[in-house]
Amino acid sequence: MCPWLQRGGVRERDWSMTGDNRLLNRLRQQIERNGPISVADYMRICLTDPDYGYYTTSQTIGRDGDFITAPEVSQVFGELIGLFFADYWQRLGCPSQIRLVELGPGRGTLVADLLRAGRTLPGFSEAISIDLVEVSRVLRRAQSEALESSGHSPTWHDRFEDVPNDRPVFVIANEFFDALPIRQFVRMGGGWHERQVAWNPDQGALTFAVADTRHDGDFDQTDSQDGDVIEASPAACEMASSVGHSIAQNGGAALFIDYGYLGPVVGDTLQAVRAHAYADPLAEPGRVDLTGHVDFSSLKLAANSAEAKCWGPVSQGEFLRRLGLQERLGMLAKDKPEHVVASLRASAERLAGSSQMGRLFKALAISTPTGPAPAGF
């Protein structure tokens, strides 16, 4: 997360830190037994291994954690998203029962802020059942606490596919897709080979390697040279397709917000963050956050092929301004002392400023093919 951290902050690998890392030991044994693993498998194991995964074992989000997300920057973020969904619910004719699904809700801050803002529209809150898709038991507890005073009792699921398919769905995902595993392919000798994670016995450390098999047919990248890296995220595409399919079947809308690009792009976006600084992705498996930038064009293709319609992406800054960021700030700042007003302005700048989260982060909406246009797009 936090891709607006200054580059150059990557720490030198500190071998002494890896001594008691059980996940590292397990990965070493697995690689020694079965051979190198793909970057995607490495990411999946590091983030979601039931015993030692980064998300499954720790509280990672917030000022005391490793990275801060938009809902943790300001309540205005979740509130505007609440207004986005309340407005869309109205545009759909106020269906009496909907599922509000959040993918990867973190500490539950966004959904709590969303519900509070949504209460301003009569009937919206009453229509909602909440389904949270979350792998981490630690974070499920935090989400339960965040929603305690909301009057809603969420149901948790390990996978989106487990959410019942019985009524319109409103799906929100903020900084979720960047946590889904990416495959990487490196151009070597004119062909594309999958990048892998191997074990280097001389250094006693994990190291990058490339597989022998060529994947040339999968890419139409003519404008490239040896050493270039291309990425693909089958897991992200499957998720976008499942959400698109559910909306096409039952109605509703989705909003995906994340940092990323509209592909095709050549480049290695795998990054590790710990304690608000860049880290080495291989040095401490399970103890650092690993992410890749999201390829919005492939999410759109996946949702479109599930018969859903995509809107955008638009930049996060533009999206929040269109939803009324300035007006909401004005309301919160009214009659407040100068230091509170300054802090509100600073958090709005962080969310929407083009040198901070405003441009790199993007919002993509999904609806049925004939659904009304969502606010902000």
174 binds ligand SAH, rule: CB under 6 A:
yes
Minimal distance in Å, beta carbon 103 to ligand SAH? Answer: 7
Binds ligand SAH by CB under 6 A, chosen from 133, 182, 357, 363: 133
Residue 270 near residue 3, CB atoms below 8 Å: no
- The CA distance from 112 to 140, in Å, is 13
292 binds ligand SAH, rule: CB under 6 A:
no
258 binds ligand SAH, rule: CB under 6 A:
no
146 binds ligand SAH, rule: CB under 6 A:
no
Residue 238 near residue 245, CB atoms below 8 Å: no
Return the closest-CA partner of residue 291 out of 132, 61, 107, 112: 61
Site string for ligand SAH, 93-132 (x = CB under 6 A): -----------xxx---x----------------------
136 binds ligand SAH, rule: CB under 6 A:
yes
Q: Where are the alpha helices (DSSP H) in 124-279?
A: 124-127, 137-146, 234-250
Nearer to ligand SAH, 194 or 258 (CB): 258
Return the closest-CA partner of residue 292 out of 267, 314, 262, 311: 267
- The CA distance from 265 to 163, in Å, is 33
76 binds ligand SAH, rule: CB under 6 A:
no
Give SS3 for 185.
strand
Binds ligand SAH by CB under 6 A, chosen from 42, 85, 170, 176: 176
Tokens of 317: 């800054």
Residue 210 near residue 193, CB atoms below 8 Å: yes
Minimal distance in Å, beta carbon 102 to ligand SAH? Answer: 7
Residue 325 near residue 81, CB atoms below 8 Å: no
Binds ligand SAH by CB under 6 A, chosen from 37, 117, 135, 348: 135
- The CA distance from 280 to 17, in Å, is 12
Residues that bind ligand SAH (rule: CB under 6 A) add up to a total of 20
Minimal distance in Å, beta carbon 106 to ligand SAH? Answer: 3
81 binds ligand SAH, rule: CB under 6 A:
no
Minimal distance in Å, beta carbon 8 to ligand SAH? Answer: 24
Minimal distance in Å, beta carbon 107 to ligand SAH? Answer: 6
73 binds ligand SAH, rule: CB under 6 A:
no
175 binds ligand SAH, rule: CB under 6 A:
yes
The window from 32-40, 67-75, 200-208, 272-280 that contacts ligand SAH (CB under 6 A) reads 67-75
- Look-up: residue for tokens 């790199």? 360
Indicate the DSSP class of residue 14. Answer: -
139 binds ligand SAH, rule: CB under 6 A:
yes
Minimal distance in Å, beta carbon 253 to ligand SAH? Answer: 17
Minimal distance in Å, beta carbon 227 to ligand SAH? Answer: 30
Cα–Cα distances (Å) from 334 to 320, 330, 337, 353, in that order, read 20, 6, 9, 22
71 binds ligand SAH, rule: CB under 6 A:
yes
48 binds ligand SAH, rule: CB under 6 A:
yes
75 binds ligand SAH, rule: CB under 6 A:
no
Minimal distance in Å, beta carbon 180 to ligand SAH? Answer: 6
Tokens of 267: 């480049």
Binds ligand SAH by CB under 6 A, chosen from 46, 47, 83, 127: 47
Residue 288 near residue 297, CB atoms below 8 Å: no
What residues are paired with 291 via a beta bridge?
A: 271
What residues are paired with 196 via a beta bridge?
A: 38, 209
Give SS3 for 172.
strand
49 binds ligand SAH, rule: CB under 6 A:
no
Residues 6+ apart with CB under 8 A from 118: 82, 83, 85, 86, 124, 125, 128
Q: Give the residues lining the site for ligand SAH (CB under 6 A).
A: 47-48, 55, 61, 69, 71-72, 104-106, 110, 133-136, 139, 174-176, 179
